[in-house]
Homo-oligomer: A and B are copies of this chain.
């Protein structure tokens, strides 16, 4: 944490847990016999519960989107740049909710939780959950919190896909949708990268078909490789070039396999850190949720038909150097919404930082995002009046 809490921070926050005893029917056909969701909230829910904003997290994200858990925390939540007093999602106006998704490894029910049928952790037996399942479970949490309709639902990357699914599944339960650095479906290349990551994890001898906890091991090698691959796709070629170039860590070439180039050092460090902090079974199922997401597939591939019954205005944001989910994917979505005669704004933000740009400070992105949320706020107060 900084020495003094900045006035634009939501400050110290504490996660909460809701327990759901009713079974949840999943898209895969299986049923989850009750579950827990860990979530955080920032700001105050107003009297008519009309000012709630749901923030959806991405592949390796979680419920800790803003503020600090502890005075010793080195970093705030993952989207602190955009959530707080006076920020794009202004917590003086909005009551923000962020949930760790089902299947996650940060407290919500997932592979590390106890399977009541066996008394052991679920491990690889945890059912594959989809973006639709997440949205269902988030809606159950909203019910529990007394939120009938969100003033906005927002998210980047895989989080943006959840926003899309909300607009499709519960068109009356959100007043605005912000879909950032996302795509209406993964490309073959996206699936290919996910598949290499999965193979890296699943072929690690310490993976034991997912029962590593029972074997007292962790598939660190596989998870490290998966994260290294991920990182390459999160950064732009340009930002990697500017940040690392061909700079050497050593005075000269060492003609061996120790770290030589700065970019090698960065990737190894990121991979190592991730390999002990994230659960491999969760990583696997999250990549599958990404692969499966394709709302147009229920409409013979016509995305505009998938979006036809949505009812809220959309903000679509892409970043010029994002090659994971390139601007063309966001344009495809914006065009589908236009064809469906749905209200949509689209901004392609100039940034050198690739896919990661959705997490980083950027004046123009902030201006676009703030304007959209300000309009959401004024719509909300107008409706209340």
Contacts and interface: CB of A to CB of B under 8 A. Distances in A.
B268 A188 contact: no
Interface of A: 27-29, 127-128, 185-189, 191-193, 195-196, 198-200, 202-205, 221, 224-225, 228-229, 231-232, 235, 237, 240-241, 243-246, 253, 255-257, 260-264, 267-268, 271, 284, 288, 291-292, 294, 297
Given A185-B246, A188-B243, A195-B267, 13 more contacts: A187-B240, A187-B241, A188-B241, A188-B245, A192-B232, A192-B264, A193-B232, A195-B261, A196-B225, A203-B221, A203-B224, A225-B225, A261-B291
Given A224-B203, A228-B199, A191 B261 contact: yes
Most interface-central of A200, A203, A257, A263 (chain B CB within 10 A): A257
Q: How many copies does the complex hold?
A: 2
A250 to B, nearest CB: 13
Nearest to A261: B191
A165 to B, nearest CB: 16
B267 A189 contact: no
A292 B264 CA distance: 13
Q: Is the interface of A mostly helix, strand, loop or mixed?
A: helix
A28 B253 CA distance: 8
A262 to B, nearest CB: 8
Contacts of A29: 255
A198 B271 CA distance: 14
A306 to B, nearest CB: 15
Contacts of A246: 185-188, 191, 294, 297
A343 to B, nearest CB: 28
9 contacts: A186-B246, A188-B240, A188-B245, A189-B232, A192-B231, A192-B263, A193-B232, A198-B257, A225-B225
